[in-house]
Amino acid sequence: MATNIGPMAYFQEQLQKGVFMIQRSRSTGKFTFYPRAVEPGTGSDELEWTRASGKGRVYASTTLYPRRKPPYNISIVELAEGPRLMTRVIDVAPEDVQIGMEVYARIERDLKEGQQGAPVLVFSVQPEARGVQS
């Protein structure tokens, strides 16, 4: 899937269309996230885009307690494909997010105040959200 834009722009463009894409190295078979121009560690530029499974597990999690807003979650999710990413786990009270929980990718468009419409990759504890809309 050759593109004429950089990997980060391509990723965002796909996310905007409702698709969560991830890179895989043709030479090592390993997945890479965040999107990069070369594979970290090997420097291989044979990275191809593939649709992410959308499945993952919570690797680390914290609940933040801002002064004037309700508490919210920040987690690191380990994707079924291997790489980890920073995200937010939704559809559960922030304090109830547990390490090891299975979570499912979802594209949220109004997560951040003042940036409505921008697609953000979050993870739900609800399996029915598994199929990221395509």
Partner 1 sequence: MNRLRGKTAVVGAAYAGVGSSPGWTSMELAAQATKKALDDAGLRLADIDGLCAATFYHFFPTLTVGEYLGIQPRWSNSDTVGGSSFLSHIAQAELAIDAGLCETVLIVYGSTARSSRDLNGLIETPETEKLYDPMVPVSGYALAASRYFHQYGATREDLARVALSARQWAALNPDAELRDPLSLQELLDAPLIASPFSKYDCCLVSDGAAALIVTRADRAKSLRKPPVYVLGNAAAHWHREIAQMPDLTVTAASVTGPAAMSAAGVTHGDIDVMQLYDAFTLNPILFLEDLGFCQKGEGAAFIAEGHIQPGGRLPVNTNGGGLCFAHPGAYGLFALIEGVMQLRGEAGQRQVEAPDIALIHGNGGTLSHQATTILGTGNCLD
Unique residue bearing structure tokens 């739900």:
124
Among 3, 115, 126, 133, binds partner 1 (CB under 8 A): 115
Determine the Cα–Cα distance for residues 92 and 129; give it in Å rounded to an integer.
Answer: 13
Among 30, 38, 55, 76, binds partner 1 (CB under 8 A): 76
> Which residues have CB under 8 Å from 93's CB, separation 6+?
none
For position 111 contacting partner 1 by CB under 8 A, the verdict is yes
DSSP reduced 3-state for 57 = strand
For position 59 contacting partner 1 by CB under 8 A, the verdict is yes
Shorter beta-carbon distance to partner 1: residue 123 or 129? 123
Determine the Cα–Cα distance for residues 118 and 37; give it in Å rounded to an integer.
Answer: 23
Contact between 94 and 70 (Cβ < 8 Å):
no
Min dist CB 26 to partner 1, Å, is: 22
Shorter beta-carbon distance to partner 1: residue 84 or 130? 84
Binding positions for partner 1, rule: CB under 8 A = 8, 34, 59-66, 72, 74-76, 84-88, 95, 99-100, 111-112, 115, 118, 120
